């Protein structure tokens, strides 16, 4: 298994043009359906469900600096933007308890991203589109590097980069560029849009691995009541304040 540092170097060496080639091969155009912004099954009675028929939480990862960017772009408190990633947190008579890693975009009462809105015709829109996190800018794509995340379940398509084929590392069934379920897949995409998406995809891969290294290096076990979030900047409470300041 490659170290996080080795995978980070691979991410930094990714060729944007090759990523764009793979994205063009798969094809993509956003249809503004909003599926990537919604819970698998919402409390409001619409949306789909996951394979087990249980509600699928909207858990789009957001980096600490992206939270601050959204705060500076609008009149938002930390908890308007982000919530602790729910994995590892359990409900108790005294409220939520546990330790978790990273932050997820905040959700509304329906379980959808708090920044998602629909017009009267049901067409979806992001209300912070210009400042949206990298996970949103790159959906429905991800790269197959250890330490990076894949959104919304398993990949439904993938394409190997030319360097992978030459090295005999993989084939198109296990390619570096992965596509995840989205009704916009398979549609024509311009070269300019593919290159813009590819650049963001490389940036996201680098950032995810840098964050993973930071989380690992700054991790300290805690034994306190309530919820503790471990991110690359240390241990924090759900409102984003450092644990030492609480």
pLDDT in tens, 75-124: 899 999 999 999 999 999 999 999 999 999 999 988 999 999 988 777 88
Which residue's structure tokens are 């080795």? 6
pLDDT at residue 1 in the model: 63
Q: 32 near 97, Cβ under 8 Å? A: no
Q: 12 by DSSP, 3-state: which? A: helix
pLDDT at residue 123 in the model: 81
Q: 245 near 230, Cβ under 8 Å? A: no
Distances (CA, A) of 162 to 22, 193, 232: 9, 20, 33
Instruction: For the full predicted model, state whether its pTM sits above 0.85.
Output: yes
Lookup: tokens for 190: 């311009």
pLDDT per position as a tens digit, 226-243: 999 999 999 999 999 999
pLDDT at residue 47 in the model: 47
Which residue's structure tokens are 């490659």? 2
Lookup: tokens for 79: 């908890």
Which residue's structure tokens are 């729910």? 86
pLDDT at residue 177 in the model: 95
- Within 10 angstroms of residue 21's Cβ, the number of other Cβ atoms is 18
Residues of the chain where predicted confidence (pLDDT) is lower than 50: 47-55, 167, 171-173
* Bond prior to 140 in cis (omega within 30° of 0): yes
pLDDT at residue 134 in the model: 96
pLDDT at residue 120 in the model: 78
pLDDT at residue 152 in the model: 67
pLDDT at residue 54 in the model: 46
pLDDT at residue 171 in the model: 46
pLDDT at residue 246 in the model: 57
Distances (CA, A) of 16 to 20, 150, 161, 202, 214: 6, 19, 11, 7, 25
pLDDT at residue 121 in the model: 79
């Amino acid at each position: 298994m490659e170290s996080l540092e080795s995978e980070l170097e691979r991410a930094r060496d990714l060729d944007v043009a090759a990523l764009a080639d793979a994205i063009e091969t798969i094809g993509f155009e956003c249809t503004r359906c909003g599926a990537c912004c919604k819970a698998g099954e919402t409390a409001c009675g619409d949306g789909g469900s996951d394979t087990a028929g249980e509600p699928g939480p909207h858990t789009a990862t957001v980096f600490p600096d992206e939270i601050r960017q959204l705060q500076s772009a609008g009149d938002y408190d930390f908890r308007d933007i982000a919530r602790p990633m729910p994995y590892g947190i359990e409900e108790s008579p005294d409220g939520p308890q546990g330790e978790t890693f990273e932050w997820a975009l905040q959700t509304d009462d329906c379980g959808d991203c708090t920044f998602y809105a629909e017009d009267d015709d049901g067409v979806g829109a992001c209300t912070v589109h210009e400042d949206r996190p990298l996970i949103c800018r790159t959906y429905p794509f991800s790269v197959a590097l250890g330490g990076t995340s894949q959104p919304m379940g398993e990949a439904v398509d993938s394409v190997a980069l030319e360097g992978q084929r030459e090295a005999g590392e993989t084939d198109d069934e296990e390619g570096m560029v992965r596509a995840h379920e989205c009704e916009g897949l398979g549609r024509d995409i311009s070269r300019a849009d593919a290159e813009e998406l590819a650049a963001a995809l490389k940036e996201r891969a680098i950032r995810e691995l840098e964050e993973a290294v930071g989380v690992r290096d700054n991790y300290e076990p805690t034994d306190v009541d309530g919820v503790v979030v471990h991110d690359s900047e240390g241990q924090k409470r759900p409102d984003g304040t450092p644990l030492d300041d609480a």
